[in-house]
Structure 1
Amino acid sequence: MCRPSRASEQRGRRSPVRQQETPEGEYTPGIEGPAVDASGNLYVVNFQRSGTIGKLAPGALQSELFTSLPADSIGNGIRVDRQGRMYIADFKKHNVWVIAPGETAPRIYFHSDQFNQPNDLAIAADGTLYASDPRFASPSGGQIWRITRGADDKGRGEVMSSTRRLGVTNGIDLSPDGATLYVSESNSRQVWAYRLDGSKLLNPRLVRGFADFEVDGLRTDASGRIYLARLSAGTIAIIAPDGSLEREVPLRGKQPTNLTFGGPDGRTVFVTQKEGRFIEAFRVDRPGREPCLQMPRMC
């Protein structure tokens, strides 16, 4: 499996080179939750079987098993904080797990019976987690959780209030300044922006909607652009903060579920593909928000 040469990487607004990073079939159809740590390792849920987490090391041609969650738990979103702690949303057992740096054993960071099914995670500079919590059986009733670290090193979570009734909340991420939370909704095919005030979601603003194809995971770059996975459209939509569509990146796989930024300069976008069950990647002209949090020197 060859890697794109530096000469072939995207510069400016030229079409990105899409590169398949892992063999087809490495993961289950539940492939999701990509996250990159400060060492450049990529983590993805459901490697070979449900309830596992795979790891793709920098330069590796295939993933390896990183860890397994306890019985009946199935991960979805993953995020890594500045200290190297990994958080995993477990939609089956209503947990958020944490794995300490240098370890592989998960422990419960936060649990609530009020979860619908925790889906995706976003992480702020101070380590606060925001979790999308959809109710897929209903076009409304989705929630967003705010989870902070207590003095006992465990999470403290609360459902965020909103002046707008939320739909099927799915993809989630923050603006570079941490003041705005972006949320995609599967049922409406829309992306919404909220101003954060503690546990309140204020000033709801429709960023952009699409007439077709379900929307899924999203991430922001250092300039505030939104990268949105359009499931079944086979593209990543790049949306300016004002809602204008800059372009759509066509992918090799046709069912992108989620994405994250990584690479040595934070400018590689890794995409999880339900169709084919592999990871692909393309290069962009600006680093992601999260790599800039982990390694500010690159930004």
Structure 2
Amino acid sequence: MGAARAVTLVCTLLLMHFLVAEAKIRVTTVKSTVFISAETSKFGLGIEGVAPDQNGVVYAVGFSGDGTSGIGTVANATGAVEQKLLLKDQTASLSFNGLRFLPLSPALSPYFELRGLAAEVKTHQVFYMLKSKRDGRTRGSVFCRNDSMIQPNDIAVAPKLGAIYMSGGAYGNVKTVVGQGDLWMCKAKDSFYQTSRDDLGPIPATRLGVLGLTNGIEVSPDEKFLYITESFHEFGEPKSNVIWRFDIDQNTGDVDVTKKTLLVDFQKLDGSGYVDLDGIRCDKDGNLFVTKNGRQGEVVKISPSGKLLLRIKLTGVFETTNLDFGGPDGKSLFISGKCVANPDLGCVDVWTEPKPALEVKECHELESRWEVSSLFL
């Protein structure tokens, strides 16, 4: 081999190494818009559980600023700000967290205009809410309960299967061990689209398994997969945060926690394993939107294969707690957390797909695991 050819080959190898090992993946970064500000907020610092009903009206926990015993609206069906009380525990003995709404079946729709669930931490239950068409009052009862639940923290729903799944974590421990987080399921007799009036009583709660601290939880749009966040703390601080994916049995709704697939490890993804994850939600395409509960408010969009697709930098919110899509077309992402301007209050940001000209691009260098020599095998 001539000297010139050898130099050319070496240069080619070095260039390929640079292109592969130092490849820059362009990840779009956008900014949210303040929706409910500290000046107008009727929510306290415990704001949580953002969720839409079947009409696109968005609700959250923490209404009236007195802890987490009240649930109120964030936005009406047109997508405009509206803060009205839906339900309040007058005794303040209940503490709500995650929030979801179920479809109204043909048997229920003549009598009720709203059907929802709230994770209730103090009494280890999922709280059932039904708003009457007759008098407009929202009444509560037990949907499912088990005193062995650690919390529950948040709820995911598989409406066709008639199943809900709950996360929970014991966050007061200095060092996390397996068993301080859990995963539960409550399975109804029928699909939630077919619920009868005789099927409104409490149903059994089944523990599917134990993990580290579990928090954000979601079911894929096709109801084939369950996603759940898991974190481990050391010296009271988070040291790892991941999202697991589980197959959902299409006959029983069961999940085998021993057969889990790692969707994303945030320490390996972008070095943010030290930031706890909170609420997660899927869009219609199955992408996950994940809240990062840190000092700098952020939401990230993760593909079904675990790739980072988007960063949303939050304008009026930090220590982000939860999020969901709502509004008239279901495309507006409402995001809750503490107000930047007043940490004693809860605020909401909103984000919708911006025009390309308004996007801000951010380069993130990802270190490749490939060896250059493997390209020539």
Q: Same fold (TM over 0.5)?
A: yes
1:193 to 245, 263, 277: 245
Matching of residues 99-248 of structure 1 within 5 Å: 99-102=129-132, 103-126=137-160, 127-138=162-173, 139=176, 140-141=178-179, 142-150=181-189, 152-153=199-200, 154-161=202-209, 166-187=211-232, 188-197=240-249, 198-202=253-257, 203-210=259-266, 211-232=273-294, 233-248=296-311
- The equivalent residue for 1:296 is none
2:331 aligned with 1:267, yes or no? Answer: yes
Bigger Rg over Cα = 2
60, 83, 96: which one aligns with 2:126? 96
Judged with a 3 Å threshold, the aligned counterparts in structure 2 of structure 1 residues 15 and 248 are, in CA distance, closer, same or farther, namely closer
RCO (CA 8 Å, sep 6+): is it higher in 1 or 2?
Answer: 2
Structure 1: how far apart are the matches of 2:90 and 2:230? 29
Q: 28-37 or 180-189: which moved more?
A: 180-189
What does 1:5-154 correspond to in 2, within 5 Å?
Answer: 16=30, 18-24=32-38, 25-48=41-64, 49-50=66-67, 51-56=69-74, 57-58=76-77, 59-69=79-89, 71=91, 72-83=93-104, 84-102=114-132, 103-126=137-160, 127-138=162-173, 139=176, 140-141=178-179, 142-150=181-189, 152-153=199-200, 154=202
The separation in 2 between residues aligned to 1:43 and 1:220, in whole angstroms, is 17
Q: Which runs of 5+ in 2 are unaligned?
A: 1-26, 105-113, 190-197, 233-239, 267-272, 355-377
Whole-Å Cα distance in 2 between the matches of residues 261 and 14 of structure 1?
20
Partner deviation per Cα, 1:4-55 (whole Å, 9 max, x = no partner): xxxxxxxxx9755522222315222211001101222111111121201011
Offset of 1:60 from its aligned partner? 4.2
Cα distance per residue 1:258-299 (max 9 Å; x no partner)? 1011111111100011244111110138xxxxxxxxxxxxxx
Return the letter of the residue paired with 2:123: K
Instruction: Name 1:255's counterpart in structure 2.
Output: 319
Q: Following superposition, which runs of at least 4 residues in structure 1 exceed 4 angstroms of deviation?
A: 13-17
CA offsets per residue over residues 51-91 of structure 1, 9 Å max, x none? 01011324543412211136310100010011141001101
Partner secondary structure for residue 36 of structure 2: coil
Give the secondary structure class of the aligned counterpart of 1:34.
Answer: strand
Q: TM-score, normalised by structure 1?
A: 0.84
TM-score when scaled to structure 2? 0.67
For the 8 Å contact 1:159–1:199, the answer to whether it is kept is no
Q: Which segment drifts farther, 20-29 or 86-95?
A: 20-29
Point out the more displaced range, 115-124 or 59-68: 59-68
Determine the C-alpha separation between the residues in 2 that align with 1:89 and 1:113: 13
Q: How many residues align?
A: 270
User: 1 CA distance for matches of 2:275 and 2:50?
Assistant: 21
> Which is richer in helix?
2
> Could you say what secondary structure the match of 1:21 adopts?
strand
Contact 1:33 1:259 in 2 (8 A): yes
Listed one character per residue, the Cα deviations across residues 118-177 of structure 1 (whole Å, up to 9, x for unaligned) are 00001112231111122223522111111122564222210114xxx5110000001121
Question: Is the partner of 1:176 in helix, strand or coil?
Answer: coil
Gaps of at least 5 residues in structure 1 are 1-12, 286-299
Percent sequence identity over aligned pairs: 29
Q: How far apart in 2 are the matches of 1:119 and 1:128?
A: 16
1:69/1:106 contact within 8 Å kept: no
Distance 2:35 2:310 in 1: 23
Q: Is the 8 A contact 2:218 2:227 kept in 1?
A: yes
Preserved contact between residue 21 and residue 62 of structure 1 (Cα < 8 Å)? no
Contact 2:28 2:311 in 1 (8 A): no
